[in-house]
Amino acid sequence: MKPLTIPETVTVGEGAGEGVGGAGPAIAGTAHTVAASMAKSERVKKRNIDLLLPRRKALTLGLALLLAACAGGAPRGNAGAAHVLRIADLSDPSSLDPLLAHDQDTIGYDLLVCQTLVGMDAQNRLTPVLIGRVPSRSNGGISSDGQTIVYRLRKGVRFADGVELTSADVAFTYRAIMDARNPVLSQDAYRRIASLSTPDRYTVVIRLKRPWNAAVSDLFAQSDFAFGILPAHAFTSTALQHAPWEERPFGSGPFRVTEWRRGDRVVLEPNPYFSPKPKLARIELRMIPDRGSALVALQAHDVDIAPILPQSIAQTEDTPGLRVLRTPENATEWLTLQTMQGPAREVRVRRAIALALDLAALEKAYQAAYPRAGAFLPPVLQWHDSGIHAYAHDLRTARALLGGKPIEALLVLASGNAAWLRMATVVQQQLASAGIRVTIKTFTTTLFNAPGGPIRNARFTIAIDGWLGGADPEQSIVFSCSQAAVNGNNISRYCDPRFEALFADQQTARAAQRRRADFLAMQRLVHDALPVIPIYYEVYFDGLNSRVRGFGRNMLRFPVAPESWDTAAR
């Protein structure tokens, strides 16, 4: 979804990624620092969220405690008061405005304060939040031509200062999204709007430029981004940066920000006008620099919830009073194969690479913590094709497809993630058995995703990456011809007119069954053409103190029903 800037702790053979050659399959090179600007393209959503978070080397308990202390999250013997929830937050947000948040964790926590019109529950179903019902053709909320959407706001919804939320606030938020002065990461969905009108205080009418089936699950919804509705009366204009509101952000959500100590913590307390009344008296988002320090704080009961990596699951579950919450995500990790140039431009070579991989052996690189993938759409999405399976390991056929000719290949990945590095070395070894000589090059996270980096300029044979999508299956599609450009997300440069026709049809198909058939067919085409080789489906792991009640997330990692969260005293 949104790229994160993550400090690298594992650097092996960083290079500029020019060409394929090299000194052989060994990982070689000298680590260096690369300063590059991250592209602010609105479609930059390359997957580097969890797996680019570094796996830290073993720390002594004392050092880890010191790190946590420096972040304001050190154990202080505080067992935790009832109705107070303390969450380890790895991000240090530059903004708490939902329109300006660029990392996934901050986007999710912004929803505690500013609500969207449409939400998503724990079963990943669309649900009304600020509206009475989700618009559809069957309930009259979407016109017969599919171009007009009518949202009917719930009456009596109040911001945390007591002012009622009305259609004017939705219109203000839309204008702020489209205001060029605001560094909103994605305007794509909202550019599809021809007009937004407010015929009365509780009605919002959107007219689309053309029919679009994913509109309701994307516009003012918990989706790829989550643009909560802002209180128009709290701003002097639609220029949002440095607005006084951000010192004590409030919206219509169950909580409001009462304190923001930058680099330390954000404190939230209940919105007195929210119904039902939240069970928690306070939420503290404590800024902790990495998962290692967060885990130490969790084990010391200084925080109640902390994100953890697979290698920490056993340690967490073995700690008295802790448990692990597993949330399947709309995310797939895969190997991208370059179809525009180099050896992988031929489908027989891509098929040979797929057959040469032993996914059972590759599983060990990520400790078998995730479900093995077949189709590029994960099982949490409707219309995932469970009948598609990974290519079986068949070294003999792989060698035959290559015709006994040695092939040189370049594998690129972002540095700082031990699991990805282990995967790279396993892939290197397995492909060598088929006659494919692989050189591995790593790049800083910034350079890996930048316009001048290897994946944007197609300077690779294989890339370890993946995708985190939104609420609608359409938002997990990165194989369109229009995306096959330097600033696009189709880094394999795959382009197939049959795929284009299916993608276009699903956008406007009136029958759900027809749209389902389109997505099933797209998954089959990708499976056969192999612009990517799916490896596993992502799962998000939270370490929880046993005193936590009701905490949950949906497939987008966003919080679910925070008004029902609670904690017991220890």
Coil/strand/helix, residue 523: helix
What's the CA gap between 89 and 560, in Å, rounded? Answer: 17
- 98-121 tens-digit pLDDT: 999 888 889 999 999 999 999 999
CA distances to 167, 187, 207 from 196, rounded to whole Å, are 10, 15, 6
Residue 213 within a domain: yes
Per DSSP, the chain holds a count of helices (H) and strands (E) of: 13, 17
Position 394 pLDDT exceeds 90: yes
Question: Which residues touch 495 (CB under 8 Å, ≥6 apart)?
Answer: 481, 484
Length of the chain: 570
- For position 51, what pLDDT does the model report? 38
Do 347 and 238 share a structural domain?
no
Helix residue spans in 133-191 (DSSP H): 167-178
Task: Decide which of 319 and 39 is more confident.
Answer: 319
Do 416 and 303 share a structural domain?
no
Q: Is the dihedral of CA 405, 406, 410, 416 positive or negative?
A: positive
Residue 527 within a domain: yes
CA distances to 314, 372, 428, 464 from 475, rounded to whole Å, are 34, 21, 31, 20
Do 292 and 282 share a structural domain?
no
Do 348 and 317 share a structural domain?
no
Token look-up 């088929």 returns 434
Residue 178 within a domain: yes
What's the CA gap between 120 and 157, in Å, rounded? Answer: 19
**Which DSSP category does 125 fall into?**
-
Residue 463 within a domain: yes
Q: CA 261, 322, 282 angle in degrees (round to 5)?
A: 35
pLDDT band at residue 431 under the 50/70/90 scheme: very high
Range of the domain at 300: 73-85+288-324
Of 67-76, 94-103, 132-141, the range with the lowest mean pLDDT is 67-76
Position 77 pLDDT exceeds 80: no
Position 54 pLDDT exceeds 90: no
Helix residue spans in 403-496 (DSSP H): 418-433, 445-449
What burial letters (b/e) apply to 216-228, b meaning 16+ CB within 10 Å? bbbbbbbbbbbbb
**What angle separates helix 291-299 from helix 61-70, to the nearest 10 degrees?**
100
- 169-181 tens-digit pLDDT: 999 999 999 999 9
What's the CA gap between 265 and 256, in Å, rounded? Answer: 14
Helix residue spans in 195-265 (DSSP H): 215-218
Q: What is the CATH number of the domain that holds 506?
A: 3.10.105.10
- 454-489 tens-digit pLDDT: 998 999 999 999 999 999 999 999 999 999 988 789
- For position 78, what pLDDT does the model report? 58
Of 31-35, 77-81, 481-485, the range with the lowest mean pLDDT is 31-35
Token look-up 């000719």 returns 405
Do 340 and 398 share a structural domain?
yes
Q: Looking at this protein, which amino acid is placed at residue 267? A: V
The Cβ-side half-sphere exposure at 291, using a 13 Å CA radius, reads 25
Mean pLDDT, range 412-435, rounded to an integer: 93
Pick the closest to residue 136 from 124, 125, 149, 126 (CA basis).
149
- For position 488, what pLDDT does the model report? 84
The Cβ-side half-sphere exposure at 570, using a 13 Å CA radius, reads 20
- For position 132, what pLDDT does the model report? 98
Pick the closest to residue 535 from 405, 369, 411 (CA basis).
369
Do 342 and 470 share a structural domain?
yes
Mean pLDDT, the chain, rounded, equals 87
User: Which residues make beta-bridge pairs with 403?
Assistant: none
Mean pLDDT, range 215-244, rounded to an integer: 96
What's the CA gap between 437 and 408, in Å, rounded? Answer: 5
Number of domains observed in the structure of the chain = 3
| Among 324, 351, 376, residue at a domain's last position | 324
- For position 214, what pLDDT does the model report? 97
Position 503 pLDDT exceeds 60: yes
Residue 542 contacts residue 291 (beta carbons within 8 Å): no
Of 70-84, 331-345, 362-376, 513-527, the range with the lowest mean pLDDT is 70-84
Residue 246 within a domain: yes
What's the CA gap between 53 and 308, in Å, rounded? Answer: 10
Residue 475 contacts residue 483 (beta carbons within 8 Å): no
Residue 311 within a domain: yes
What's the CA gap between 495 and 339, in Å, rounded? Answer: 9
Residue 483 in tokens: 């995306």
First to last CA, the chain: 37
Q: What is the CATH number of the domain that holds 170?
A: 3.40.190.10
What's the CA gap between 262 and 223, in Å, rounded? Answer: 27
Q: CA 220, 225, 231 angle in degrees (round to 5)?
A: 50
What's the CA gap between 26 and 383, in Å, rounded? Answer: 41
Question: Which residues touch 244 (CB under 8 Å, ≥6 apart)?
Answer: none
- 330-368 tens-digit pLDDT: 999 999 999 999 999 999 999 999 999 999 999 999 989
pLDDT band at residue 94 under the 50/70/90 scheme: confident
Do 281 and 294 share a structural domain?
no
| High-pLDDT (> 70) share of the chain, % | 86
| Among 324, 351, 377, residue at a domain's last position | 324
- For position 8, what pLDDT does the model report? 30
What's the CA gap between 482 and 217, in Å, rounded? Answer: 22
Do 270 and 294 share a structural domain?
no
Pick the closest to residue 55 from 540, 439, 415, 443 (CA basis).
415
Do 370 and 299 share a structural domain?
no
Do 351 and 477 share a structural domain?
yes
- For position 417, what pLDDT does the model report? 79
| High-pLDDT (> 90) share of the chain, % | 76
Position 148 pLDDT exceeds 80: yes
| Among 286, 314, 348, residue at a domain's last position | 286
Task: Decide which of 496 and 3 is more confident.
Answer: 496
What's the CA gap between 555 and 105, in Å, rounded? Answer: 13
Is the omega angle on the peptide bond into residue 276 within 30 degrees of 0, that is, cis? yes
What's the CA gap between 535 and 420, in Å, rounded? Answer: 11
Query: Based on the number of CB atoms within 10 Å of its own CB, is 58 exposed (0-12), middle (13-18) or buried (19 or more)?
Result: exposed
Helix residue spans in 235-375 (DSSP H): 291-299, 313-317, 347-356, 359-362
Residue 423 in tokens: 């995967």
Residue 267 contacts residue 250 (beta carbons within 8 Å): no
- For position 475, what pLDDT does the model report? 93
What burial letters (b/e) apply to 532-564, b meaning 16+ CB within 10 Å? bbbbbbbbbbbbbbebbeebbbbbbbbbbebbe
Residue 491 within a domain: yes
What's the CA gap between 31 and 307, in Å, rounded? Answer: 29
Residue 438 within a domain: yes
- For position 102, what pLDDT does the model report? 80
Mean pLDDT, range 400-414, rounded to an integer: 94
Do 352 and 320 share a structural domain?
no
Residue 191 in tokens: 């550019």
Is the omega angle on the peptide bond into residue 559 within 30 degrees of 0, that is, cis? no
Do 439 and 376 share a structural domain?
yes
